[in-house]
Amino acid sequence: MIITKKALPRRVFLRGMGASVALPLLDAMIPAGVALAATPAKPVRRLGYVYMPMGSNIAQWTPPGSGKLGELSPSLQSLAPVAGKLTVFTNMELKNAYPGTHATSNAAFLSAATAKWTESSDYYLGTTADQIAAKQIGQSTRLPSLELSMDLLTLVGQCDNGYACVYQNNLSWSSPTTPLPSEAHPRVVFERLFGEGGSAADRRAELRKNASLLDFVSEDIARIKRELGPGDQSRVGLYLDSVREVERRIQKAESEVAENRLPDLDRPVGVPAAYADHAKLMFDLQVLAMQADVTRVTTFQLARETSNRTYPEIGVPDAHHPTTHHKGDPEKLAKVAKINAFHVSLFSYFLQRLAATKEGDGSLLDNSIILYGSGMGNPDVHDHTNLPILVAGGAGNMKGGRHIRYAAPMPLANLHLTLLDKAGVRLDKFADSTGKIAELGEPLSV
């Protein structure tokens, strides 16, 4: 089929008072005169980073063997549906995270840099990989990057062995002296993605007076659908259904605040009471942001280093941080493994949502690279070697279904350098990198 009418621009927004909803990639965005069947709309590449605090029970984390990823380890079982898009790395390290603290684990994860030892505001780290990407592939989107977390904390001063709290609070740094705060409240994130015009308070007041954000743009929805073919109408419908469902869950969480007499102090007011519900909502917001090309770079902190969150829903009523100091106690090690598996199951939810979201001739997962892991290896001794690290996705000709096991420690900076390259960001060196990872193959042409 040949499109003869003028194509829609890649950035189409449904607009209403205080609201702006970007559309996903559609076939109607192909330039006029191009054969639709032969040339689907070209997707963009995306980079995502998900941080898991306080290392792992590495014995339960590491899959057997190397090369082809066959049997998954107990901690990674939930990733079976997306194993073909998954690469597990064993024996990666962060040399610059030593002397071995929670603060430096978090700080070095995306920077591979040495954090200045200070309790004051003269902190110094390095520009993180996500922000290097944001400065290139994020400049054509509404948000160059999106920084999210599960814990909304405002701790200041010294948090860990003389290191300023800023190192634990922030994964992303746009310069060595500029940490980027993350957002844990789904409503605030939703407004950042879809709000337009006026102050944040004005937008919030307007949205809460109405049943849905989509009510503001109903006329634009009807207009744009008249211009689309059946396939694109279906894509838009499914996307808007996802937007409405995320908004419904946010509204439900807000309505339940008054009924929650014993709030979890680790979570902001107005988010789902259950940790998993909150995490899934934050992951769904990332899916929407990527699908609508509001941003191409995301970071998400599943919990803060030294978090004392408990997980009774999986049989771990003990605080996370003390449990990780296991001293080889089999019972504590089993609990650490349960927490690891729980966090991975939420990551698997995210990957499966990306895989189920069609884009071009593939899916969002095919067009993304998502790094998951921790800046700490064995939490009992606060080391930074043999880190638990996964990469998922297909952008840049990524090949999955593999377990890459190194005989000697491999700098995590090498993986950052390689993933940036696959996303189209060319660097000769990143932090203490010694080269790109040949096993991941050459990137596609930009």
130 belongs to a structural domain: yes
Show the domain range for 85.
45-184+293-440
282 belongs to a structural domain: no
320 belongs to a structural domain: yes
Shared domain for 6 and 30, answered yes or no, is yes
* Helix, strand, coil shares, percent, the chain, to 5: 40, 15, 45
Closest CA to 240 of 200, 277, 213: 213
Shared domain for 160 and 302, answered yes or no, is yes
Shared domain for 240 and 303, answered yes or no, is no
31 belongs to a structural domain: yes
In 292-318, which ranges are continuous DSSP H helix?
none
Shared domain for 180 and 195, answered yes or no, is no
Q: pLDDT tens digits, residue range 255-301?
A: 775 555 444 445 455 678 899 999 999 999 999 999 999 999 999 99
Any idea which residue has 């709290």 for tokens? 165
Instruction: State yes or no: pLDDT of 160 exceeds 70.
Output: yes
Q: How many CB atoms lie within 10 A of CB 72?
A: 18
Q: Mean pLDDT in the chain?
A: 87
Q: pLDDT tens digits, residue range 352-377?
A: 999 999 998 899 999 999 999 999 99
277 belongs to a structural domain: no
Longest dimension (CA), the chain: 69
286 belongs to a structural domain: no
Shared domain for 353 and 422, answered yes or no, is yes
Q: What pLDDT sits at residue 161?
A: 77
Shared domain for 68 and 102, answered yes or no, is yes
